[in-house]
Amino acid sequence: MNAKLCLWVVSLVAIGCGLDKGSTKNQCAVQADCLDGYLCNAGGICEVTVGPDAPACVPKTCGANQCGTLDDDCGGTIDCSCTLPAICEGAGIPNRCAAPAECVPETDAALCAQAALTECGTTTVVDSCGITRNPDCGTCSAGVCGAHSYGLCDEILCSSSGWCRAVGGTLADDLMVRDLWGTGTEVLAAAASNTEGKLLRFDGTSWKSVAAGAYALRGGAGSGASMWLAASSGALLKPSGSSFVVPTMSSRTWTSMHAISSTDIWVVGQFGSGSGARASASHWDGGAWTDLSFGGTFDLGWHLLGVSAAASNSVWAVGAAVGNGSVTDLPAGPLVASYNGISWTVNRTFPTQNYLRAVHAVAANDVWAVGDGGTILHYNGTDWTISPSGVTQQLLAITGSGSTLWAAGTGGTILKKVGAGAWTPEVSGTTRTINALWATSTGDVWAGGDLGLLLRYHP
C-alpha cells in the first residue's frame, strides 16, 4: 500500500471514531473539539450522541457556587440557587454565588416603611442583601393594629374625650386631610398628597368618595354646583362626575378657602416662593374670580396660610412674613390681613413672633388665630392678645360652634374652650397631625389629619 492510500484509510477511521477535528486522537477538552453528532464527555472523550450506540444523555447538575438558569447539556435547563448569605452574582460574576460586595442591609424601620407598616405589624421580606428578614414594626399601646388602616395602630374606636373614628374614614387612604367644611348636616373633606387629591362627603352615616384627580387639594368651600376647591398648583376646581374640571387656572399657590355663601367665597395663598413670595387673595362673587392685590412691595415675602370670613366686610387672612433683606419693613414674623369690603389692612404687631397657621372669624370684634409653638391669639376689635393654650405643639386648625372653640395640630393635639373658660386638652386617640377642623351648628365637630385621619366628636 502506498503512502497516500494509507493516509486516506487512517482519516476514515478517525472520522468514524469522532476524532477531534484538528487532531488524530479521539480526545477533547471542550465540546468544540468534537465533530457534529459527538459529545465531549466527562472523561474527555468524543462519544457518539445519536444512533443505537449512543448512551442515554445524563443532564448535568448544579455545580458548586453555580446559580441562575443554566444549560443541562441535554437540550434542557436547570435552575441553581445560592445558600444565604451568598446571592447570585453577588460579586458581579455571571451565574456565580458570592456574598454581596460591601452589602449593607436595610434597617428594620426601613423594611417596615417599604411594607407600609407605618406604626405596627410584622412582615416577611427579603432585604437588598438577599437575606429573608422578619422585622417587628411595632405594637399598639391602644387600639388594634390594622383595625381601620393597614399598618396603623392609633385606631381606637372612641377616645375617653368622645372623639371617634369616622365610618368609612379609610377612603382617604394615606392622603392628608387638608380641609373640612359643610352646609347644614352635609360634611365635605379635601384630602391630598403633593400629586393627587380626593373629595369626600359624609352623607350622615359614612364617608363616600365623590371625585379624585391629579390635584394637590388645599381647601374647599360650598356644596353641589356652587362648590369650589383650591389646589396648590393654582387651579380652582369643581367636581365633575368622579373627577374634576378646572374652570380657572393661575400661577398662585393656594393654601386656604372659605365661603360665606355660594356667591361670596374667598381663597388665599401666594405667588412666588421664599422671600420672593407675594401674598395673594381672590374672591368669587357668583360670576367670576377677582384678584384683590395687597399692593406695592409691602406684600413681598408674605405667605398667607389661612382665611376665614365673618361677613363680606370682615374677611381675615393669617400667615407669616419670612423676611426680606432688601425691604426693611419686612422682618420675619406673623401677619394678619383684614378686608373691610374696600381694602386690606395689614397688622404685623403681635405679642408673639410665632407664625400663624389658621384663623376663625366669629365677628369683626371676635377673631381667633392659631400657629406655631402652641400660639393662640384673640382679637376683640381693638387689640390682639395671647390666649394661653398650655401646649407647645404647632396648631394648624381652629373652629367654633356657639360659645365653644376647638383648636388642633401636631401630635394629635386637640384643645377645647367653653365660653370664658381656659383651653383644656382633649384625648384625640391619635398621635397623627390634625390639619383641619369643622364644627356644625348642632355641635358636632370633625377633625382631619395625616394618613387619612377622620375623627368625629358627637355630643
Task: Give the model's pLDDT for residue 25.
Answer: 59
For residue 51, pLDDT over 90 is answered with: no
Question: Is there a domain that residue 51 lies in?
Answer: no
Residue 448's pLDDT is 95
pLDDT digits (tens, 9 = 90+) for 261-314: 999 999 999 887 766 778 889 999 999 999 887 755 456 678 899 999 999 999
Q: For residue 303, how far is the Cα from the chain centroid?
A: 23
Q: Which residue has the cell 365633575?
A: 240
pLDDT of residue 50: 64
Condensed to tens digits (0 to 9), the pLDDT of residues 71-122 reads: 887 778 899 988 877 778 777 778 888 776 667 778 898 999 888 888 788 8
Residue 12 has pLDDT above 50, yes or no: no
- CA-wise closest residue to 117 among 135, 101, 133, 131: 135
Total count of domains within the chain: 1
pLDDT tens-digit series, residues 176-202: 999 999 976 789 999 999 999 999 998
Does residue 9 carry a pLDDT above 80?
A: no
Average pLDDT over residues 131-152: 74
Nearest 5°: the CA angle 412, 414, 415 is: 155
Which of the pair, 26 or 413, is modelled with greater confidence?
413
Q: Domain range for residue 282?
A: 163-457
> In CATH, what number is assigned to the domain containing residue 362?
2.130.10.10
The answer to the question of residue 73 being in a domain is: no
Residue written as cell 460574576?
Answer: 93
The verdict on residue 385 lying in a domain is yes
Pairing of strands 424-426, 414-418: antiparallel
pLDDT computed for residue 116 by the predictor:
81
The answer to whether residue 176 is domain-embedded is yes
CA 346, 347, 352, 353 torsion-angle sign? positive
Higher-confidence residue of 400 and 291: namely: 400
Q: What is the mean pLDDT of residues 417-445?
A: 92
In a domain, 74, yes or no: no
Burial (CB < 10 A; 0-12, 13-18, 19+), residue 378, is middle
Q: How far is CA 423 from CA 65, 316, 416, 436, in A?
A: 69, 22, 5, 18
CB atoms within 10 A of CB 264: 18
**Residue 333 CB partners (closer than 8 Å, separation 6+):** 320, 321, 323, 348, 350, 353, 355
35 in a domain, yes or no?
A: no
> Which segments of 277-402 are extended strands (E)?
278-284, 289-291, 302-311, 314-321, 333-339, 344-347, 356-363, 366-371, 376-379, 384-386, 395-401
Q: What is the bridge-based pairing of β-strands 264-271 and 207-213?
A: unpaired
242: left (phi over 0), alpha (psi -120 to 50) or beta: alpha
CB within 8 A of 269, min separation 6: which ones?
218, 230, 232, 252, 253, 254, 255, 256, 280, 304
pTM above 0.75, yes or no: no
- Whether residue 371 is predicted with pLDDT greater than 90 in this model: the reply is yes
245 sits in the region (left: phi over 0; alpha: psi -120 to 50; else beta) called beta
Local confidence band at 152 (pLDDT 50, 70, 90 cut-offs): confident
Closest CA to 255 of 226, 277, 281, 274: 281
- Above pLDDT 90, what percent of the chain? 46
Residue 431 CB burial class (10 angstroms; 0-12, 13-18, ≥19): middle
Q: By mean pLDDT, which of 105-109, 141-145, 327-331 is the weakest?
A: 327-331
